[in-house]
């Protein structure tokens, strides 16, 4: 890992830095973007009081979470409207009139929203049955990290956040069965909107029957099962390569690998790596291989090693995890940190996980004043 002086030298010599007002900044967003408004809503603290344009009082209990698929921007939000608790979806628009412009009034997916959040009211109310509130954004909410206020030990700081993510992942598999692990592993095939659908698919199958010996046979079963009404697969906003029908070969590989699990994998790292790459890695790209190992297999193996007293093996699995490399940088990280960190550093799995943890804990809620990467914020 780079030392403080070497890190800063890399930062200032990076030819991809973007210059503005003699300072090197992260790309700043355009003002009044819908994504800014959505983030502003998600940053609201429980107990925040708002007045809807209809005169009703809105109290925020839980701002909800960002919806990554088609439909309203925010899901699972809980608010109190004049004393009545409501949980549901929220739609955000920079202008109130965009509700009709985007034709939400003709889309059943928007029929049950509990609140309309806007940056600018229309001349006349657009929705009669649903309250509308205005959150005014006076300036873009871009990240204020620069090479001048970045802490010197930035990579060490991010790596520490990554280690925290590792420990969380290891803990989540504590006392989990091999079948529970299969459900979780398949969730990662649906990353970006179909996590629940793939988990449900795994639950409906359970352990693959021992009579199924060919992967093609299991793929045929899965192809039929994805049409089951109990499974809802999203397509809007999801790359074609990630559609359910294009992930069934990989799903079959994972399920057969877990069905034939060998207990020696918990302590025999070399054996696990050999069989894994023979049976799973050959059927997917480098990105999914890293995701599956980093988010599922390695944490699960480390968790079981701790439970069964295989002393030191959990640290060996952590070492394997730390050595993972992503072939590409996550888009959300690239947009925010392009020019501040070397791409080669950001492709390291622990660094990427540390940045994602920072975005979940600080960036999402606009807690810039406590950003651990900012020397001015500490």
Residues 91-108, mean pLDDT to the nearest whole number: 91
Statement: the pTM of the whole predicted model exceeds 0.85 = no
Q: Looking at the predicted structure, is the pLDDT value of residue 120 above 50? A: yes
Q: Are 298 and 188 in contact (CB under 8 A)?
A: no
**Token pair of 170 as six digits:** 């290891």
Tell me the two tokens of residue 23: 């300072």
**What percentage of the chain's residues is helix, strand, coil (to nearest 5)?**
50, 15, 40
Does residue 91 register a pLDDT over 70?
yes
Say how far apart CA 61 and CA 80 lie, in whole Å. 7
Mean pLDDT, the chain, integer: 84
Distances (CA, A) of 168 to 51, 140, 177, 295: 39, 33, 17, 10
Percent residues over pLDDT 90 in the chain? 53
Contact between residue 83 and residue 48 where contact means Cβ atoms under 8 Å apart: no
Tokens of 147: 């090479």
Question: Per DSSP, what are the bridge partners of residue 117?
Answer: 92, 133
Weakest-pLDDT range from 119-128, 142-151, 163-172, 185-194:
142-151
> Which is more confidently placed, 233 or 95?
95
Reduced to 3 states (helix: H, G, I; strand: E, B; else coil), residue 81 is strand
pLDDT at 18 over 70: no
Structure token pair of residue 16: 């991809």
Whole-number Å distance between alpha carbons of 103 and 93: 12
Sign, CA dihedral 235-239-240-245, equals negative
**Dist CA 41 CA 227 (whole Å):** 36
Q: How far is CA 354 from the centre of its chain?
A: 12
Domain ranges for the chain, please list them.
34-134, 154-363
């Amino acid at each position: 890992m780079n030392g403080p002086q070497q890190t800063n030298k890399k930062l200032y010599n990076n030819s991809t830095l973007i210059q503005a007002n003699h300072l090197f900044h992260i790309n700043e967003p355009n003002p009044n973007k819908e994504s800014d408004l959505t983030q502003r809503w998600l940053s609201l603290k429980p107990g925040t009081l708002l007045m809807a344009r209809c005169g009703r009082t809105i109290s925020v209990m839980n701002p909800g979470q960002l919806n990554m698929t088609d439909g309203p921007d925010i899901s699972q939000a809980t608010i109190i409207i004049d004393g009545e608790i409501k949980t549901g979806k929220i739609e955000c628009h920079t202008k109130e009139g965009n509700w009709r412009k985007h034709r939400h009034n003709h889309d059943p997916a928007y029929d049950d929203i509990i609140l309309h959040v806007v940056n600018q009211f229309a001349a006349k109310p657009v929705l009669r049955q649903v309250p509308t509130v205005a959150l005014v954004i006076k300036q873009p909410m871009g990240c204020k990290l620069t090479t001048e206020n970045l802490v010197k030990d930035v990579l060490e700081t991010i790596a520490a956040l990554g280690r925290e993510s590792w420990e969380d992942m290891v803990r989540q598999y504590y006392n989990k069965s091999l079948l529970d692990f299969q459900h979780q592993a398949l969730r990662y095939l649906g990353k970006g909107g179909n996590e629940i659908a793939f988990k449900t698919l795994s639950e409906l199958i359970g352990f693959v029957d021992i009579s199924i010996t060919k992967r093609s046979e299991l793929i045929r079963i899965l192809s039929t099962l994805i049409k089951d009404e109990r499974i809802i697969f999203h397509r809007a906003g999801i790359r074609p390569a990630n559609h359910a029908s294009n992930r069934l070969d990989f799903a079959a590989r994972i399920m057969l690998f877990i069905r034939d699990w060998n207990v020696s994998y918990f302590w025999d790292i070399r054996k696990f790596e050999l069989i894994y790459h023979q049976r799973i890695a050959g059927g997917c790209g480098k990105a999914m291989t890293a995701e599956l190992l980093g988010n599922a297999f390695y944490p699960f193996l480390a968790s079981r090693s701790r439970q069964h007293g295989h002393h030191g093996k959990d640290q060996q699995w952590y070492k394997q995890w730390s050595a993972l490399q992503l072939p590409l940088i996550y888009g959300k990280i690239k947009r925010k940190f392009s020019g501040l960190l070397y791409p080669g550093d950001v492709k390291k799995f622990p660094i990427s996980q540390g940045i994602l943890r920072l975005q979940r804990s600080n960036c999402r809620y606009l807690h810039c004043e406590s950003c651990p990467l900012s020397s001015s914020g500490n």
